[in-house]
Amino acid sequence: MDKKTQGAWIIHHGKKIWGTNNGAASYPAIDIAAKSGALLARMAASKQSELNSNLVTTLAKAGGLSPKTDLPACLEQLSNERVIDLASDGSVAVIGVTASSALDHTSTLFERNDPEPFETAAIGLGELVSQSPVGKKLAGEKIGDEYRLTNLEVADFLGQATAFGFIESDEEGDDPLLFNGNLFRRESIAKTKKVLDSLDSVEQAAFSQFETALKAGGALKLSEAERMLGKPLLSKLRAAGVFDENIVSNENGDHSFITSPGAFHKFSNPMVDDAFDHAKALVAALSYGMHVSSTDRGAIWGVDLLLKKLLRGEAVGPAPAIGKDYRALELERVISIKPQGSRYTMRLLKREVGEIALQVLQHGSAAAAAVGGIPGAQVSGYTGPEKARANFRKRKDVQPSKMQMRGLLSSVRSEGGL
């Protein structure tokens, strides 16, 4: 496994254990490496930059870090890695970092914190079940052999891995299938065909019609997906990760739209992009400006020109909407915002994010079609597919039967392999 992929799994697993009762204590190397890597990705821009202590604290809080405990520990980790310089007044100088290089550093930090065998096993298990669903018994044998864990240790580890959300299970029988949300991000065309073949004739017709509409528009509102597929079939497909849900939030509520997992991945590495969701969030915000914002608040009429100007390092604006619709991106240091009276200008800080957004918007937006129907109000947040699907699977009222889930997941298992 390369360092970028390992770093992405560390971020993924770190997000799962944050907020749990004993996750950080049980997986300390993953916890500190994930927190430090996420902070680095948030602080850094494409070029070297300097941040005052107040901004560093704000960015830490935005990522859910405690300024008293987590922040000093993470800054020490990053300073030892020599990617930041700490000044006596609390300001921080950060080297130029991309999402890919942030994941490299995350991987290095993990290794330097002497991970326990089960922490390394957690990363290996995540990678294993993202390729194809694997029976729990076979997964246990593979993990036990590779990481030298006893049968009792394997049983305890698999229970924790499922409880924390590192992996998921169809919960069927004494040998449930294990998988995770990255299942349809790799070789999704072949796997999606296997899903189609596993459905009955009525479901196949609905699935094919929906796939055609999704490819044509890039995204569909959740309500439209429910109409075309029916709630039971859509529930099964969402729970298994066949389709992604993206959520744009404003004062009128949360607004969901469905995309294909491959919508962004022809432009970027799925593991790298999904670790932070920066490109998805930028596309959602820009699409909102194109299709919802009124002229007086700053509608976007030429997104190609706007993004190319940002990529040249120039400021765009001024417009009132910039100060309202890009706040989440400002806290992720994707952009910087400056006020000009009652209007605002913005500059792009993370160049690679703008490059991906430009390609997506030029070649079929993964958000524009759906965002166009959102009631007009300022964008206050964005929820990416991984978190949206985790929240969906917690809702007992919408879950498909275990037998249905097992049939779908079994259809995409590697032939002659796992």
As a whole number of angstroms, the distance between CA 256 and CA 258 comes to 7
* C-alpha distances out from residue 316 to 14, 159, 286, Å: 35, 50, 13
pLDDT tens readout for residues 61-74 = 888 899 999 999 99
Count Cβ atoms within 10 A of the Cβ of residue 148 and give its class: 0-12 exposed, 13-18 middle, 19 or more buried: exposed
CA 343 to chain centre: 31
As a whole number of angstroms, the distance between CA 366 and CA 214 comes to 9
* C-alpha distances out from residue 253 to 256, 289, 381, Å: 10, 17, 10
Bridge-based pairing state of the strands 168-169 and 177-179: antiparallel
pLDDT tens readout for residues 206-219 = 988 988 887 776 66
End-to-end CA distance of the chain: 18
Segment among 21-25, 308-312, 343-347 with least mean pLDDT = 21-25
Segment among 67-71, 152-156, 296-300 with least mean pLDDT = 296-300
Count Cβ atoms within 10 A of the Cβ of residue 306 and give its class: 0-12 exposed, 13-18 middle, 19 or more buried: buried
pLDDT given for residue 174 in this prediction: 78
As a whole number of angstroms, the distance between CA 340 and CA 103 comes to 36
Tell me phi and psi for residue 82, to 5 degrees: 65, 35
pLDDT given for residue 396 in this prediction: 52
pLDDT tens readout for residues 159-177 = 999 989 898 887 767 788 8
* C-alpha distances out from residue 111 to 61, 69, 81, 374, Å: 26, 21, 12, 44
Tell me phi and psi for residue 348, to 5 degrees: -90, 130
Is the per-residue pLDDT at 416 higher than 50? no
* C-alpha distances out from residue 49 to 16, 45, 84, 362, Å: 30, 7, 10, 30
Count Cβ atoms within 10 A of the Cβ of residue 394 and give its class: 0-12 exposed, 13-18 middle, 19 or more buried: exposed
Query: Residue ranges per domain, the chain?
Result: 3-164, 200-391
Instruction: Kindly state the tokens that stand for 96.
Output: 């130029």
The residues, ordered by sequence, that sit 6+ positions from 233 with a Cβ below 8 Å of its Cβ are 199, 203, 206, 207
365 vs 179, more confident = 179
Tell me phi and psi for residue 31, to 5 degrees: -60, -55
pLDDT band at 114 (very low <50, low <70, confident <90, very high): very high
Instruction: Assess contact for 83 and 105: CB atoms under 8 A.
Output: yes
Instruction: Kindly state the tokens that stand for 189.
Output: 């065309």
Across 36-45, 93-102, 274-283, 404-413, the highest mean pLDDT is recorded for: 36-45
Q: What is the 3-state secondary structure of 229-248?
A: HCHHHHHHHHHHCCCEEEEE
DSSP H or E stretch at residue 220: strand 220-221
Segment among 59-63, 93-97, 239-243 with least mean pLDDT = 239-243
As a whole number of angstroms, the distance between CA 285 and CA 298 comes to 12
Please state, for a pLDDT cut of 70, what percent of the chain lies above it: 74
As a whole number of angstroms, the distance between CA 86 and CA 91 comes to 6
Instruction: Kindly state the tokens that stand for 136.
Output: 């729990």
pLDDT tens readout for residues 122-136 = 999 998 988 888 889
Instruction: Assess contact for 283 and 360: CB atoms under 8 A.
Output: yes
Task: Return mean pLDDT, the chain.
Answer: 79
DSSP H or E stretch at residue 338: strand 335-340
Instruction: Assess contact for 347 and 313: CB atoms under 8 A.
Output: yes
Q: How many CA atoms lie within 13 A of 16 on its CB side?
A: 27
pLDDT given for residue 157 in this prediction: 94
